[in-house]
Structure 1
Amino acid sequence: MASRRSVASLGTLLLPLLLLLVAAAAVATKGGVEVVADGDWRKILEGEWMVEFYAPWCPACQQLQPEWVKLAGWSKDLNIRVGKVDITLQTGLSGRFLITSLPTIYHIHEGVFRQYEGSRLEKDFLSFIEDKKWLGVKPVSSWVDPNSLAMSGMSALMDFSHWIKNTHAYLTEQLGIPVWVSYLLFSLATILVGLLLGAVCSHGSHSY
């Protein structure tokens, strides 16, 4: 009798754990939203993707999140991947994709970029993908293609401006350096870089 009670008690304890594991497996099968960053963004050039660009402080972005998570739940069935980019952390990508409004959504199919401008509801996202409505959307121009040389330069510029902003804040707020001194240091650094580039270019021309 005691052994039966022990087995029953053990079963009672294990049942919630088993249900939890089944639920976790179901979620894993459905898929989820993938984080896209500066270091791995080229993964979206392969296959089919829906990627949103957002900021945590953006009210419209916050409203989108539940629908975006629902879309990600269909990723396995639709054979797509669903991603998100936090532009407050990935400044290079915000420049590369020329993000001027939030949220911005891109559909990417085998490296071809199209901006999604439809309704931000799960059913409309699903229709856009299942019915291949994206074929009726004109791809972005070649000169603003995120994979182009021009946009790579824009990405580097955004990263550099972000670095300047952070460095200026560190110099003035952490080290207590006056603002005008910080500006002077950046000005001198800019002149020095210009002189070095000029010297390198001059040396290269004389070598011929």
Structure 2
Amino acid sequence: MFQVRNQSNSKGSINFQTPCVSDSGFYGSSSIIIQHTTEDMHIIYVARNAKDNMVSYFHFDSMAMIEPDPGDWNNYFQRFMQGKVVTGSWYDHVNGWWKKKQTSPNVHYMFYEDLVEDTGREIDKLCSFLGLSPSEDERKRIAGGVQFDKMKKNNMTNYSTHARMDFKTGSFMRKGRVGDWKNHFTVAQNEEFDEDYKKKMKDPTLQLRTDL
């Protein structure tokens, strides 16, 4: 795991200090970060399906005062597919890190949907990757602590103390479900998205679920 301490996209430079942790959900340029990783870093990457990711970032951008106004949903939908949002291209990011995983044993690629489906199973995989052997009590405590409802009430994770969030428009941690995109996508948008997705996600080994 790593933390970006100093970053300048204009110069393409980045400095890492380890050991440390980053929980950033910001995409940025995956190529810049990947180029500056070293083999002694342990990197945990969590990917979420593009449809739910789009919905999540639409709501986040609507309440984050440090972000540009996302506009209406229909406009945001088009810009997300084109990678013309603050977070950049979802496709470039998830594909870039998937490619990195194939050549680096120090990259642990996780899927949000798997975490929702069976948190304990994914914790076991993560502990194996990190070389950790937690007791059963520790394992249960961790699994309980990272449940969405628990994190939603935790001031360390719910952004409630963040001064640049407009909580009048909603909650930072909204639902955490898999498949909430169905409440936003029209039938036509879903069909358009699926066609575009097929063109950009050509690696058959990378499969993200949009429902459970």
Band of TM-score, shorter chain: under 0.3
Bigger Rg, structure 1 or 2? 1
Higher helix share: 1
Task: Indicate the structure whose relative CO is greater, using CA pairs within 8 Å and at least 6 residues apart.
Answer: 2
TM-score normalised to structure 1 length: 0.25
